[in-house]
Structure 1
């Protein structure tokens, strides 16, 4: 069948977790089906102009016009608050042409539209597929259908329900009730959050954990390692250096550890320059190394434990699956989809970020075991790591995805 994968941001643009999954799904599905990519383009943009190209995987990428001042994505330009508000209003009204999407889907004779990070392309995708009676499968990675920031997080904390501003800005993009729509969620926590807020209540829902990386993409000597690779007990952090990620909480907790203990914290990732300066100032002369943007393997291969201190209800970080596949336990918050991996599958510890000293106590719990015993007793503390089925081959990820998509093509929309 012919699959149109929708991703509002797509390589060579900068990738987050959702974009990585979309690209990898495109490669794997193209082995058995004809695949095209539908993304956004902006006139004058050097990386993502409107039009068609063939990417390095041999897949056609077609970018339709984004009728707004700048493209969505992690690297937005510095603009005034008024300009940012205007951008969000224009996006909410629909900055992707329904007619342009309909023309493309008709011309390409698409059998199914499989959309990843697509909130900015709504309501065009909903309305075009409905008008043409083309099956639609939404692969949901975040809260973008409820919150323009996609995190449902403000500096004051997490939002259980969308605020008035978010309700206004997302009213059109979540207009579908889900009739005839297939929805894939990366965690049950994400699925439940959508349903509690009345999003896609009539969709055919599935939960598919992010076990999507092929064994060929893992550095073989690191997979399933069972010994320490560092002189000191080493905590690792990977991800954006942003408030909602909880990196500041991690640094503050690390600074409380007994100075007599020989421990190191590796911080991999980048963020706003001013926030990075703040974090480095906070770290002072402590044994905290800021690595910048590096391949995840550089952290996995030397860390004794990865810390995922997310303040927001992170749906399901790729790190949860990758770290366990490499044999490394994870300490994470009791929020979002994180407990579904760490607690339910036995690959790490969870702590309550609202509890004072919750993270510091958990870090202390780890180092109190001792550097050598940490690894010799790993399978006692984390019984789910040995033989963890975190790769696409072990989990059957792409077969499960293919089965969902094939079933979606016969899911009838209401007349």
Structure 2
């Protein structure tokens, strides 16, 4: 089967969860199918100029010209408000040439378009696919087709429906029923949010959690870890340093712990300068270490518990899967798809972030158990960790995905 994997951002550009999934998918599917990755490029960009390249492993990448002031990346733009607003408006009007995209699809004669990360390439991609008569499988990992910010989170609260300006910017996309399309969501919570907003309601829907990392991606020395490695009980956080991620909630909870002097908090990830400065002020001299961007394994190696304090309705963080593979329990919120992993698989504790003391109480509970007993009794406290099927091999992820893609190509 000749497959076009669409990922607006692709290696060697900076990667977030969606970009990692697109790269892993290209590597895996490319072993059995003729795969081309379609991404965006910009003239003068040193990393991602327009044109064709070959990456390690023989992955063919074709980048089409992006007619906007900067390329979309997983990290939030540091541009000012007016420039960002202009960028979103230009994107909504069409920063990708549909004619160029259509000609590319007609020339290549793909059997299927597998759109992994394509919100900013819509609706041009759908229009071109229909013109070229190529079926589409859309893999949804965020709310990008409903909200240009991709999070449906604004002014400290979650949006149940697109707000006025988002409605205007995504109008052309939201009018699509999805008839004849196949859609995969990374959580049932994400699927429900689209259907509640009557978007893609006529599509053939599937839910596949992010268990798509191959076993050789993981650090084998850490898989199934069963003992402490830090001198004091250590909480870890991995991800963007931002308000919607709940990092300020986490720091406040840790600072307020009576035992915080006998514990440690690691914050690993990037953020806007002003957000990072704010978070550092909140730590108020407590043992909080800001590591910046590091390999996730650097945190999993040390942490006794991973915190996922999301305030936004996060569809499904990859951290929820990686942590239990490494043997580390998770403390996360009941937002989005998190409970579909934490509670359903019994790999950690979940709490309501709107209850002021909830996170502090669970962190205090962990400290009261004690670091030694925490690990000695881990399988009794969190009975799902030892048997958690968090890799592609264990969950048969790519076998299931290929079955969906093959059926999608015949629609």
Fold shared per TM-score above 0.5 = yes
Sort the Cα spacing of 1:260 and 1:174 in 2 relative to 1 into closer, same or farther, 3 A: closer
- 1:157-306 to 2 correspondences below 5 Å: 157-259=157-259, 262-306=262-306
Q: What corresponds to 1:112 in structure 2?
A: 112
- Describe the superposition over 1:215-240 as per-residue Cα deviations: whole angstroms up to 9, x where unpaired: 11111121111111122111000001
SS across alignment from 1:282: helix
Sort the Cα spacing of 1:402 and 1:230 in 2 relative to 1 into closer, same or farther, 3 A: same
C-alpha contact 1:40 1:65 (8 A) present in aligned 2:
yes
- 1:132-147 to 2 correspondences below 5 Å: 132-147=132-147
Q: What corresponds to 1:33 in structure 2?
A: 33
Sort the Cα spacing of 1:80 and 1:370 in 2 relative to 1 into closer, same or farther, 3 A: closer
- 1:4-153 to 2 correspondences below 5 Å: 4-75=4-75, 78-153=78-153
SS across alignment from 1:15: coil
* Whole-angstrom CA distance in 1 between matches of 2:314 and 2:47: 29
Sort the Cα spacing of 1:78 and 1:372 in 2 relative to 1 into closer, same or farther, 3 A: closer
* Whole-angstrom CA distance in 2 between matches of 1:270 and 1:80: 18
* Whole-angstrom CA distance in 1 between matches of 2:37 and 2:238: 28
- Deviation of residue 75 (structure 1)? 4.5
* Whole-angstrom CA distance in 2 between matches of 1:393 and 1:79: 41
C-alpha contact 1:123 1:174 (8 A) present in aligned 2:
no
Q: TM-score, normalised by structure 1?
A: 0.97
Q: What corresponds to 1:374 in structure 2?
A: 374
C-alpha contact 2:260 2:286 (8 A) present in aligned 1:
no
- 1:358-373 to 2 correspondences below 5 Å: 358-373=358-373
- Describe the superposition over 1:247-279 as per-residue Cα deviations: whole angstroms up to 9, x where unpaired: 111000000111476111111111111211221
Sort the Cα spacing of 1:361 and 1:260 in 2 relative to 1 into closer, same or farther, 3 A: closer
* Whole-angstrom CA distance in 2 between matches of 1:56 and 1:249: 41
* Whole-angstrom CA distance in 1 between matches of 2:136 and 2:175: 14
SS across alignment from 1:220: coil
* Whole-angstrom CA distance in 2 between matches of 1:380 and 1:51: 54
* Whole-angstrom CA distance in 1 between matches of 2:93 and 2:190: 25
- Describe the superposition over 1:29-61 as per-residue Cα deviations: whole angstroms up to 9, x where unpaired: 000001001011111111111111111221111
C-alpha contact 2:323 2:330 (8 A) present in aligned 1:
yes
- Deviation of residue 176 (structure 1)? 2.1
Mean alpha-carbon deviation: is it higher for 261-270 or for 340-349? 261-270
* Whole-angstrom CA distance in 2 between matches of 1:227 and 1:36: 43
Q: What corresponds to 2:385 in structure 1?
A: 385
Could you tell me which runs of 5 or more consecutive residues in structure 2 were left unpaired when the two chains were aligned: none
- Deviation of residue 298 (structure 1)? 0.7
SS across alignment from 2:38: strand
Q: TM-score, normalised by structure 2?
A: 0.98
* Whole-angstrom CA distance in 2 between matches of 1:80 and 1:283: 27
SS across alignment from 1:344: helix
* Whole-angstrom CA distance in 1 between matches of 2:95 and 2:227: 52
C-alpha contact 1:3 1:34 (8 A) present in aligned 2:
yes
* Whole-angstrom CA distance in 2 between matches of 1:333 and 1:165: 28
- Describe the superposition over 1:47-94 as per-residue Cα deviations: whole angstroms up to 9, x where unpaired: 111111111221111011111111111346543433222211111112
Mean alpha-carbon deviation: is it higher for 309-318 or for 77-86? 77-86
Sort the Cα spacing of 1:292 and 1:126 in 2 relative to 1 into closer, same or farther, 3 A: same
* Whole-angstrom CA distance in 2 between matches of 1:51 and 1:410: 30
* Whole-angstrom CA distance in 2 between matches of 1:253 and 1:205: 39
- Describe the superposition over 1:336-377 as per-residue Cα deviations: whole angstroms up to 9, x where unpaired: 000000001100110000012111111111111111111111
Q: CA RMSD in A?
A: 1.2
The number of equivalent residue pairs is 411
* Whole-angstrom CA distance in 2 between matches of 1:317 and 1:197: 22
- Deviation of residue 284 (structure 1)? 2.7
